[in-house]
Amino acid sequence: MFLSVFDLFKVGVGPSSSHTMGPMVAGARFLEELRQQPFKAAGLKASLHGSLAFTGKGHATDRATILGLAGFVPATLDAEAAEAALDENRRTKLLSPKGLGDLVFDPEADLVFDYDRALPGHANGMTLSATDAQGDVIFHRIYYSVGGGFVLTDDELARKGDEDRSDAAPKVPFPFSSAVEMLEMAEKSGKSIAEMKQANELVYRNDADLREGILGIWRVMRDCMDRGLMTDGILPGGLSVRRRAKGIHDKLMAERGMNLTAPHVINDWMSTYAMAVNEENAAGGQVVTAPTNGAAGTVPAVIRYWLDHVPGASERQMPEFMLTASAIGGLIKHNASISGAECGCQAEVGSASAMAAAGLAAVLGGTPEQVENAAEIALEHHLGMTCDPVKGLVQVPCIERNGLGAIKAVSAASLALRGDGKHFVPLDAAIETMRQTGRDMSDKYKETSLGGLAVNVPNC
């Protein structure tokens, strides 16, 4: 099993990797296929199903779908150009993607939120269609946004099941698909988890590109965090949620150096780092999936804690942190899920906390066994966590939840490093428990805003 560090950590836009980035990616993929067809389309239609329908408007899925069908992609999105395209569509009811001419697309008629019919492959399903001049469908695709900005067609989703059952080994030197295999390979090779992950990555790119790519991901994370720490005001969406990261950070900076500061204040630093990222995400800013947008603040908050508050920390170790974190994230995605619509927030913030705990344990000198233990502790204590965003917005409880995920990650790494790596619950068992819990969890608590906090607090 191989999943690149750049698959887990992708540059994109808020507020959601599965509900914003995914539909945008699907739209761009649909256009690419449409350009290869022998006929000329006259119009486009889109239908959103399952969680994409229930919380789509709160996650800006309608905007993302339109932008995807206009030819925009998350990694290179220009905010001003995107707004101009949306304004033009509102005025003309047309989209003009490159190479396809003007296509009729009236969001009021051609973008359907189907609350009644879920698609069979995944909770985040959507259909995209091209029509002729009479309005008849002449080309059609089903897409699933499976979490973290990953998008699969229905055919690809079926083939993925076949690949998971295949005995064909991936063409990487350390193809671990479970934590047990990972630890066995580490012991046999004498390599750390990061070193094995690096060897796998180097099959596809050279060392300089790998290092610069990882540092580039960290720069985007850091810049996003810095913007959040400098910005206040009210977040969009109608909940009137006030940004708090800047105010908390300003107070922490003013208190710095004072005598008799309580030790627990370090938790406030970690929380404000995470909240800064997720406030930017909620505002639709540029973020890095880690592994999702809804959990985008946890990993960078732990990195910032390590760099700014732990003696001896250095960005030179950033590849070690990120490669270790992505190895754990890959195991979770491969064997369970990183999608809140599929397994609840245990799959998002829980996964992010496990990734961050593993990365921190690694750069603090942990053995592979201690790193695996750190990831297990963090994930175990997010099991059962629901995804119940109020009004479908990635704001309440999501922003604070990332801060608590960071705190748990640091605690998990610290506890693991106090031991020898031997522990009762294996990481593989925690991952499988998360998968089973997500399967058994009511859909009300899986990013539909039909239960939990979403229905028990005022949302307007």
Q: What is the pLDDT of residue 345?
A: 98
Two structure tokens written together for 392: 């479908």
Torsion from C-alpha of 443, 445, 450, 456, nearest 10 degrees:
160
Q: Say yes or no to pLDDT of 73 above 60.
A: yes
CATH 3.30.1330.90 location in the chain? 17-161
At the top level of CATH, the class of 17-161 is: alpha beta
Tell me what the pLDDT averaged over the chain comes to: 95
The whole-number average pLDDT for the span 105-134 is 96
Q: Looking at residue 165, what is its pLDDT? A: 40
- How far is the C-alpha of 98 from the C-alpha of 37, rounded, in Å? 14
- Tens digit of pLDDT for each residue in 140-169? 999 999 999 999 999 999 887 555 443 444
Q: What is the mean pLDDT of residues 63-72?
A: 97
Looking at residue 400, what is its pLDDT? 98
At 259 the pLDDT is 80
300: preceding bond cis by omega (within 30 degrees): no
Task: Tell the residue number behind the tokens 């790193």, with chain if given.
Answer: 371
pLDDT tens profile 204-220: 999 999 999 999 999 99
Q: Which residues contact 11 (CB under 8 A, 6 or more apart)?
A: 74, 75, 217, 220, 286, 287, 288
- Residue 373 token pair: 């233990």
449: left (phi over 0), alpha (psi -120 to 50) or beta: left
Indicate the pLDDT class of residue 170, thresholds 50, 70 and 90.
Answer: low
Whether residue 133 has pLDDT greater than 50: yes
Report, as an integer, the average pLDDT of 376-404: 97
Q: Long-range contacts for 241-249 (Cβ within 8 Å, ≥24 apart)?
A: 241/282, 241/393, 241/395, 241/396, 241/399, 243/279, 244/272, 244/275, 244/279, 245/272, 245/273, 245/275, 245/276, 245/279, 246/276, 248/272, 248/275, 249/276
- pLDDT at position 459: 61
Q: Phi, psi at residue 69, to the nearest 5°?
A: -75, -15
Class of the CATH-defined domain 172-456: mainly alpha
| SS3 sequence of the chain | CCCCHHHHCCEEECCCHHHHHHHHHHHHHHHHHHHCCCCCCCEEEEEEEEHHHHCCCCCCHHHHHHHHHCCCCHHHCCHHHHHHHHHHHHHHCEECCCCCCCEECCHHHHEEEECCCCCCCCCEEEEEEEECCCCCEEEEEEEEEEECCEEEEHHHHHHHHHHHHCCCCCCCCCCCCCHHHHHHHHHHHCCCHHHHHHHHHCCCCCHHHHHHHHHHHHHHHHHHHHHHHHCCCECCCCCCCECCHHHHHHHHHHHCCCCCCCCCHHHHHHHHHHHHHHHHHHCCCEEECCCCCCCCCHHHHHHHHHHHHCCCCCHHHHHHHHHHHHHHHHHHHHHCCCCHHHHCHHHCHHHHHHHHHHHHHHHCCCCHHHHHHHHHHHHHCCCCCCECCHHHCCCCCHHHHHHHHHHHHHHHHHHHHHCCCCCCCCHHHHHHHHHHHHHHCCHHHECCCCCCHHHHCCCC
pLDDT for the residue 161: 54
Mean pLDDT of 270-298: 97
Confidence class for position 111, pLDDT limits 50, 70, 90: very high
Question: What proportion of the chain, given as a percentage, has pLDDT over 90?
Answer: 94
User: What is the Cα–Cα distance from 425 to 350, expressed in whole angstroms?
Assistant: 16
* 231-241 pLDDT per residue, tens: 999 999 999 99
pLDDT at residue 167 in the model: 42
User: Which residues of the chain does CATH 1.10.4100 include?
Assistant: 172-456
Beta strand 94-95 with 103-104: parallel, antiparallel or unpaired? antiparallel
Count of alpha carbons within 13 angstroms of residue 91, beta-carbon side:
6
Kindly report, residue by residue over 362-378, the tens digit of the pLDDT: 999 999 999 999 999 99
pLDDT at 187: 98
Other beta carbons less than 10 A from residue 134's beta carbon: 8
